[in-house]
């Protein structure tokens, strides 16, 4: 009997059917991957299993007992835990307090004794996960990887039967991914049923036992890992064969568009110099904390430089206003916080940075704004009911397209993109890569930061590697290998 058994599960949001009669099961001691494009229904299905969402039709049982829908407490009591991509912890509380947040103590003396027990047990749980984080550490100061371990520790203190991990590796370094997979395999060996949502196919083929593919809310198929390969999984997800465009043809480069000389931001990075030419895509790699995102933000004027110069087509850049006027745009890493206004429409998000193009004497032109928004939605194939739909209601891949597309209204010269495909599905990833290549092929320049090694090796024409706030080296397309990138990023001699 499966640990998780979903039968005929359907879910509507208004008139949109996000799950359509889905059957899905997970066995004891199995890692079962849910795969599909953004908006395929994966997250809705696991939220139903975790008690966050009630289905409109169908049945879900855990270890043979029917789940009480819409109750997280009921799901947790049955041994179900959900680990989100961005851990949902209380940042101002300690690790121990987060692990035991739902526990209550009695009298003062008893409370003191229980706190001591909780601290010891928290340390044991973290050690079991290979984590050296102190139970007294404040969560706000932990990395995403350490926060995930805290989330899992909180699940382990209960009688864990089902662990759901929703897109957990998007913010992790390769070594952190390796540790997470080790923990998952250990839990699998203990009989825990694991549901894993991911988009990186190489990771999915590494960690899975079985793979279930959803498309447009419907079950496509379930396959064993041994019977799967990347091309077949892509075809199942998209419903067609697609050209992944692994390598760009040699760039036809022209004059220098962006020049950065001896740029520094105190405490973040120092003495960085680079130039980017027309028709060129330059990648920036390095380990988390190397200063890559901070470099892009300083170039665009989000951060104040402490030294150095930035030049775009002869214009000196010292502020965001300077950058936009010179034809530069920035797609930030965190689209939800900095790239979009989630509580307003797609139309307003696309219009916001382009009001100078659509206004006359400070009077907005709704007709021009609508025309621009509809053009971008059509060009980038953004899935929306209409341009008035809230940005926060879109899938991650469609949000990323809006975050990118709002800049394509302008006649940009330089596009800065931080983690262009973080948390998006393979179909969206391929199309975003194609957009970046198309932009560069039109004689513009692209600078992209990426933690996705395959993306870093396949999309740019050359790669600059940062280490501890400085440029550690440059790799041409011919020189770029995973080993060469990691040696420069980590400072290991060849």
* Structure confidence at residue 243 (pLDDT): 55
Are 68 and 192 in a shared domain? yes
Considering the domain boundaries, does residue 22 fall inside one?
yes
pLDDT tens-place values along the chain, 494 residues long: 799 999 999 998 777 788 999 999 999 999 999 998 877 889 899 999 999 899 999 999 999 999 887 788 889 889 998 887 667 788 889 999 988 887 655 444 445 547 778 888 898 888 888 888 899 999 988 887 788 888 888 888 888 899 999 887 766 777 778 888 988 899 999 999 999 998 888 889 999 999 999 988 999 999 999 998 888 888 888 776 555 555 556 567 889 999 999 999 998 999 999 999 999 999 999 987 789 999 999 999 999 999 999 999 999 999 999 999 999 999 998 888 888 999 999 999 999 999 989 898 889 999 999 999 999 999 888 888 899 999 988 877 889 899 999 999 998 999 999 999 887 777 778 888 989 999 999 999 999 999 888 899 999 999 999 999 999 999 998 899 888 898 898 876 54
227 with 286, same domain: the answer is: no
Quote the pLDDT of residue 171: 66
- Residue 11, number of CB atoms within 10 A of its CB: 22
DSSP H stretches of helix in 380-425: 396-408
- Sheet of strand 193-197, all strands in order from the earlier edge strand to the far edge: 80-83, 162-166, 193-197, 31-35, 210-215, 218-224
SS3 content of the chain, % helix, strand, coil (to 5): 35, 25, 35
Tokens at 312, concatenated: 């775009």
Tell me: do 376 and 476 sit in the same domain. yes
Residues 201 and 301 in one domain: no
Specify whether 216 is located in the same domain as 321.
no
> For residue 57, what is the DSSP state?
E
Question: What is residue 297's predicted lDDT score, i.e. its pLDDT?
Answer: 95
Query: What is the predicted pLDDT for the residue at 63?
Result: 92
Cα 433 from chain centre: 16
Can you give the pLDDT at residue 128? 81
Task: Compute φ and ψ for 202, nearest 5 degrees.
Answer: -65, -35
SS3 114: helix
Q: Which of 246, 295, 311, 253 is nearest to 445 (CA)?
A: 253
Which one-letter DSSP state was computed for residue 125? Answer: H
Instruction: Judge whether 247 lies within some domain.
Output: no
The verdict on residue 246 lying in a domain is: no
Task: Quote the number of domains for the chain.
Answer: 2
Q: Is residue 251 part of a domain?
A: no
* Domain-terminating residue out of 186, 205, 238: 238
Q: Are residues 352 and 278 in the same domain?
A: yes
CB 69 within 8 A of CB 187: no
- Which of 238, 267, 286 is where one domain is finished? 238
Tell me which H or E stretch contains 398: helix 396-408
Question: Is 88 in a helix, a strand, or coil?
Answer: coil
- Do 230 and 345 sit in the same domain of this protein? no
C-alpha–C-alpha distance, residues 306 and 321, integer Å: 18
Would you say 237 and 201 are in contact if contact means Cβ atoms under 8 Å apart? Answer: no
Q: Is residue 304 part of a domain?
A: yes
Phi, psi values for residue 420, rounded to 5° = -65, -25
Residue 441 forms part of a structural domain = yes
What whole-number distance in Å separates Cα of residue 456 and Cα of residue 451? 7
Give the pLDDT score at 384: 87
**How confident is the model at residue 109, as a pLDDT?**
45
Q: Measuring CA to CA, which residue among 353, 342, 343, 348 is closest to residue 366?
A: 348
- Is the residue at 93 inside a domain? yes
pTM of the model: 0.69
CA 9 – CA 20 distance, rounded (Å): 7
User: 163-199: string of b/e by CB count within 10 Å (b at 16+)?
Assistant: bbbbbbbbbbbeebbebbbebbeebbeeebbbbbbbb
The domain containing residue 83 runs over which residues? Answer: 4-238
Tokens 């179900």 sit at which residue? 80
CATH code of the domain in which 322 resides: 3.40.50.300
Q: What residue has token string 């692990």?
A: 99
Bin 135: left if φ > 0, else alpha if -120 < ψ < 50, else beta: alpha
In whole angstroms, what is the distance from residue 183 CA to residue 334 CA? 27
pLDDT of residue 240: 61
d(CA 274, CA 308): 11
Same domain, 140 and 282: no
**Domain for residue 243, yes or no?**
no
Does residue 81 contact residue 162 with C-beta atoms inside 8 Å? yes
Task: Indicate if 233 and 272 belong to the same structural domain.
Answer: no
- Which residue, chain included where needed, has tokens 């001699």? 493
Question: Residue-wise over 273-295: b if at least 16 C-beta within 10 A, else e?
Answer: ebebbbbbbbbbbbbeebbbbbb
Q: Are 171 and 293 in contact (CB under 8 A)?
A: no
Check whether residue 217 and residue 288 sit in a common domain. no
Residue 307 shares a structural domain with residue 387: yes
The pLDDT value given to residue 131: 83
């Amino acid at each position: 009997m499966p640990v998780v058994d979903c039968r005929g599960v359907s879910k509507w949001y208004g008139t949109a059917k996000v799950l359509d009669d889905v059957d899905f099961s997970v066995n004891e001691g199995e890692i079962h991957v849910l795969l599909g494009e953004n908006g395929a229904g994966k997250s809705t299905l696991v939220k139903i299993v975790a008690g966050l969402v009630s289905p409109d039709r169908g049945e879900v049982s855990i270890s043979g007992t029917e789940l009480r829908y819409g109750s997280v407490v009921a799901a947790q009591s049955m041994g179900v835990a959900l680990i989100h991509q961005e851990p949902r912890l209380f940042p101002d509380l300690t690790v121990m307090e987060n692990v035991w947040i739902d526990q209550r103590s009695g009298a003062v003396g008893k409370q003191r004794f229980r706190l001591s027990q909780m601290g010891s047990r928290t340390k044991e749980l973290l050690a079991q996960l290979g984590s050296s984080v102190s139970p007294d550490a404040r969560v706000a100061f932990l990395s995403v990887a350490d926060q995930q371990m805290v989330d899992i520790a909180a699940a382990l203190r209960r009688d864990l039967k089902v662990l759901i991990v929703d897109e957990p590796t998007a913010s992790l370094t390769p070594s952190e991914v390796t540790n997470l997979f080790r923990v998952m395999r250990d839990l699998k060996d203990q009989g825990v049923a694991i549901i894993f949502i991911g988009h990186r196919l190489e990771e999915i083929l590494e960690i899975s036992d079985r793979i279930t593919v959803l498309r447009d809310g419907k079950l496509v198929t379930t396959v064993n890992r041994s019977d799967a390969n990347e091309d077949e999984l892509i075809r199942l997800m998209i419903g067609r064969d697609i050209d992944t465009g692994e390598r760009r043809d040699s760039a036809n480069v022209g004059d220098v568009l962006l020049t950065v000389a001896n740029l520094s931001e105190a405490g973040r990075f120092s003495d960085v110099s680079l130039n980017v030419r027309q028709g060129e895509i330059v990648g920036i790699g390095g380990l988390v904390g190397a200063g890559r995102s901070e470099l892009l933000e300083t170039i665009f004027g989000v951060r104040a430089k402490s030294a150095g110069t930035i030049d775009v087509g002869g214009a000196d850049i010292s502020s965001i206003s300077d950058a936009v006027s010179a034809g530069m745009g920035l797609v930030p890493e965190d689209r939800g916080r900095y790239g979009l206004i989630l509580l307003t429409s797609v139309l307003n998000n696309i219009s916001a940075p382009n009001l100078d193009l659509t206004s006359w004497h400070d009077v907005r032109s709704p007709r021009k704004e609508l025309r621009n928004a509809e053009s971008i939605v059509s060009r980038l194939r953004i899935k929306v009911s209409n341009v008035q739909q809230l940005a926060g209601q879109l899938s991650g891949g469609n949000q990323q397209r809006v975050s990118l597309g709002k800049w394509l209204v302008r006649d940009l010269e330089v596009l800065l993109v931080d983690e262009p495909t973080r948390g998006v599905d393979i179909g969206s990833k391929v199309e975003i890569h194609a957009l970046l290549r198309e932009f560069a092929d039109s004689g513009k320049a692209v600078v992209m930061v990426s933690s996705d090694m395959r993306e870093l090796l396949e999309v740019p024409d050359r790669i600059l590697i940062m280490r501890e706030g400085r440029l550690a080296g440059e790799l041409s397309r011919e020189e770029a290998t995973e080993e060469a990138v990691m040696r420069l990023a980590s400072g290991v001699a060849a």
